[in-house]
Structures are given as C-alpha cells and as structure tokens.
Structure 1
Amino acid sequence: MKDYKELLIEKQTAINELLQKSQKNLAKYRGLPNKRIRSSTSNNCVQYYFVDPETGESKYAKNDEYTLVKKIIQRDYEVAVNSKLKKMEKEIEKTIKRCDFEDIHSIYNKLPLSKRNIVVPIIETDEMYIERWKQEHAGNQNTFFEDGKIQTNNGERVRSKSEKIIADLFEKYNVPYIYEPYLELSIGHIVYPDFAVLNVRERKTIYWEHLGLIDNEDYAKKNMLKIYDYSRSGYHLGDNLILSMETFDTPLNSKDVIREIMKYCI
C-alpha cells in the first residue's frame, strides 16, 4: 500500500512546477493596458471589444489591434490559472499536514501490549506485512540442485560468493528477502529467481536475478530467453525485476548492488 502522503507530495511538486511556469508566463504580459476583452459573433465573424473594467465602456478592436487583443486574452487566462494554482497550493499543503498514516499507526503502537496483542489494526504494521509476505513467499524451492555450501549472515545456504554478497547487503540495509522462491510465469514456465525482495515502503515484491557467467555464450543466451519470459509475464527490468551480473574477468561490484538496492528496494 503506497502512502497517500507520498502521492500528495508528488501532486504538490507538480503544482509547484506549474506555478513556477505560470509566474514566468505572467511576467511576459506586464505593462499591458488594464482592459478586458469582450467578443461577439455576427454573420459567422468574431468581433472583439476592449472593455474598461471601471466604467464598463466598450471600444471596438480594429484589425491592427488584434495582436494586443490576443495578448490581453492570454494574460487574463494566465491570471485565472495562477490564482487557481495558488489556491491549490494552499489546499494541498493543509491536506498534507492533516493526512499522515503514521497517526493511524501510532494509535495501535501506543496501546498496551495486552491490548495490542488482541487488536487487528486497520492498516497492517510493517512488521505484520513482512511476516505475512515471508509466509507467502517460501524460500529454497529450487530442488534441481544440491543445497548451497556458502552461508549468509542470516544463515541461508547459497550457491556462490556473489549471492552471499547480495544477501548480506539485503540484510545490512534491512531489506526483507527470500532465497530461490517458486514463481510460475503466465506462460506456464516455472522459475526460481535467485531472490525475492520486498520494498517495504511501497509494499512491492521485486525479483532479483544474478547472472554470474554472462561472458559464456550459451549461459547468456539461456538467460536472455529467461528475461524475455519474465517480460512477457509482466516482470520488467527497473520495475519488479532487477539484474546483477559479472564475468570471469569482472567480478560482482558490491557498489553496484548497493546502488540498485537504494534505488529500487528501499
């Protein structure tokens, strides 16, 4: 569940950007006469009139004044838009201050333990969600190979030093993860991604594949087809699928892994 406060902040950013653009647009029309424009149609011909806002008197706009007419119309539009954006800016700022799910979480968290153990919160706490996610994503499902020989900081057995590096970095940055879960793709293929990880903030499951032999032609072809199968099943790179890779001459760089974790998993 994405925090609505984040969505509001995104909307606030968009409003602020529009407001800045609006301010620049308004500046272009400074110095125009304090007139309004009235229009009428006669015999399918549009006629424009300058209107004095104080007296209400109208004066026909001649053809050679059409450029001025356009500028005044555009200015009046920009003034209206600017006014509306300023109101929206104030309204969303007030809403953001009022709307914070942490206030909902705090009601549950402030309960005595004796009551907290009984209450079912309207919004799952992160701890509850993580626990349920782990139950729904069982690990060590790949039975085609022997168990790994290398132990991670969390005690799992993985098959390579690179997988240990990745798993230990998940642990370091408090990213919940599962090693080799079962995943059935929509095209009917069964795969066992190296990791399933949970972006707790977005409550989003991401699959992580490590390609350890991409300089091997057969290995590379096989995994490119696998990535294609992922894509056809709705798993896309940079969204809910992440790749790390290495070659014989270029081992896994932990900085690259950290960058991907910070960008997609936290």
Structure 2
Amino acid sequence: MKLNDINFLCQSTEKEISNLRKELSKCPQGTLVICNINGKNRYYHQKKNADGSYSRHYLGKDNIGLARHLARKTYIKNKLLDLENELKSIRRYLSVRKKTDYKQLLTKDSIYRELFAYDSWEYEPYDKSTSHPEALIIQAPKGDIVRSKSEALIANALYDRGIPYRYECGLDLGDYIIHPDFTVKKVGSGEIIIWEHFGKVDDPEYFQKNVVWKLKKYIENGYIPGKNLIITWETKNTPLSIEEVSKMIEHYIEE
C-alpha cells in the first residue's frame, strides 16, 4: 500500500472513530447481559450502582427497544476498540516509514532516463491511428500530438513519472482493430494496460456509439476495467483533473 493510501486510511479511520464516539455518548447507560435459559435468550439491563455493586433488570417485550440500543452500544464499543488499535498501528508505521523519492530517477530531467532499457518500447514503430488527423491539435511532452487537453493531461502525467506509453496504438480484438487512447507498459512487470478516456459521457449519442460499444468489445476480449483496463471520463461540467489522473496511475500502474 502506498503512503498516500495509508495517510488517507489514517484520516478516514480518525473520522470514523470520532463519529462512533459521538454515537456512543448518546447511548443509554449500562450494558446488556444475555442469559440463555432453557434454550431461550433473556435480556437484562445491567447498571453499576454508586457503591460499586451491580444491579440487573429484566427486559421483556415492552423493553425490546432498550435491548436493541444496548446491543448497538456493545457493537460500537468493540468496533471502537478495533479501530483505535488499527489507528495506533498505522501511526506507528508512519513514524518509522521513510520515503525514498525513487521516481525522480524516471522524470524527463533525470540523467538516468535514457539509460533505462524499457524506454525503447514506446519509441518503436507501431500501428498508429490515422483517423481524423485534423483533430490532433495539442502537443504532448514526448513529441506526439493528442486530441484534447485531458489526453495531454494523461500524457504529461505518464511522461513525468517515467511510465512508457503509446498513443492510439492499434489493438487487435479479433474481428476489429481498435486504437485505445493510451497503451501503457508497467515499468516493473512489463504488463500492458489499456487506458481509455471518454470525453463527452453526458452526450447520449457519444455514450452509445463510443462508451458502450468500446467497453463491450474490450470485455469480450479479456480487457477488464480495474484490472488491465483503465477508464476515465468527463462531462461538460466535470472535467478530468490531475488528481484523478494521479490516483489512477498510483493505483493501477505504478508498482
């Protein structure tokens, strides 16, 4: 698990603990005691008296609501204990974890970049899409031309992290050749990941002709979203962000 994921887990755990403590403060006093008598559970409300002794009161059908609240209180207390232990372990890990910025070796400014053998793959000749060349209008950092600002955003992020990719490289899906936006090669394993960005998912016609059709083709040929197929999308009101791109790279591509 990456440090960003661990920090997010720490924050979400802290929030959940806080919410559970608030709920616990509103729970009824005392605890629930369950006794099995002749094969049937009987519920009792146990309280601690001022002198330190305990007293119990039977909860019949008329008090089943209180029994449920006390059962919930038991659950909350046990979950709190588990989450507090987990948070303590996360904090202990973060206190000793030292991050080495190895990614700097792969950036475009690194003196090592040209020496990595895997770089040659992305520059080798490949079957590139010839469809609508007039739409290729935005310069990407590697020298290729892409069709949109969002695709440039993805290309920049991949390049800056030293991740080799091919833009609109032909992919044989049996009865059809498709040209995914990006064909990405994982640095460590060499595994190939397809990345499709859908830019107008709020357009019904575009959605049917591009998104539905393409996803069906990919899945039929073993490209599964979340496994070896990355999908990003945007609408007119919700453009693709660098944060989304970074999360996709960290989660699915970097090893």
TM range (shorter): 0.5 to 0.7
Shift of 1:229: 1.4
> Contact between 2:154 and 2:245, CA under 8 Å: does it hold in 1?
no
> Contact between 1:141 and 1:192, CA under 8 Å: does it hold in 2?
no
Shift of 1:143: 6.6
- Partners of 1:155 and 1:5 lie apart in 2 by 29
Distance 1:10 1:84, change over 3 A: same
- Partners of 1:170 and 1:193 lie apart in 2 by 13
> Contact between 1:138 and 1:181, CA under 8 Å: does it hold in 2?
no
Equivalent in 88, 101, 126 of residue 141 of structure 1: 126
Shift of 1:71: 3.4
Distance 1:66 1:169, change over 3 A: closer
Equivalent in 23, 26, 42 of residue 24 of structure 2: 26
> Contact between 1:235 and 1:241, CA under 8 Å: does it hold in 2?
no
1:178 matched to which residue of 2? 166
Shift of 1:84: 3.1
Q: Which has the higher contact order (CA 8 A, sep 6+)?
A: 1
Equivalent in 211, 221, 234 of residue 223 of structure 2: 234
The amino acid of 2:35's aligned partner reads: S
| Structure-2-length-normalised TM-score | 0.57
1:250 matched to which residue of 2? none
Identity score, percent: 15
1:47 matched to which residue of 2? 42
Instruction: Please list the CA deviations of residues 137-187 of structure 1 after superposition, one character each: whole Å capped at 9, or x if unmatched.
Output: 4554127859x79894657465xxx638677655655555433434344x5
2:180 matched to which residue of 1? 193
SS of residue paired to 1:228: helix
Distance 1:139 1:169, change over 3 A: farther
1:119 matched to which residue of 2? none
Q: Which runs of 5+ in 2 are unaligned?
A: 250-255
SS of residue paired to 2:84: helix
- Partners of 2:8 and 2:80 lie apart in 1 by 19
Distance 1:41 1:204, change over 3 A: same
1:15 matched to which residue of 2? 13
Distance 1:91 1:155, change over 3 A: closer
Distance 1:244 1:228, change over 3 A: farther
- Partners of 2:10 and 2:195 lie apart in 1 by 32
Q: Which runs of 5+ in 1 are unaligned?
A: 110-124, 246-252
SS of residue paired to 1:24: helix
The amino acid of 2:218's aligned partner reads: Y
- Partners of 2:59 and 2:182 lie apart in 1 by 73
- Partners of 1:206 and 1:18 lie apart in 2 by 36
The amino acid of 1:38's aligned partner reads: V
- Partners of 1:70 and 1:261 lie apart in 2 by 47
Shift of 1:58: 4.7
1:248 matched to which residue of 2? none
| Structure-1-length-normalised TM-score | 0.55
CA RMSD of the aligned region, Å? Answer: 5.0
1:92 matched to which residue of 2? 90
> Contact between 1:139 and 1:179, CA under 8 Å: does it hold in 2?
no
How many residue pairs align between the two structures?
220
2:252 matched to which residue of 1? none
> Contact between 1:137 and 1:181, CA under 8 Å: does it hold in 2?
no
Q: How does 1:78-227 map to 2 (within 5 A)?
A: 78-100=76-98, 102-103=99-100, 105=102, 126=106, 131=116, 134-138=119-123, 140-142=125-127, 152=139, 156=143, 163=147, 174-175=159-160, 177-185=165-173, 187=174, 189-196=176-183, 205-208=193-196, 225-227=213-215
- Partners of 1:196 and 1:16 lie apart in 2 by 39
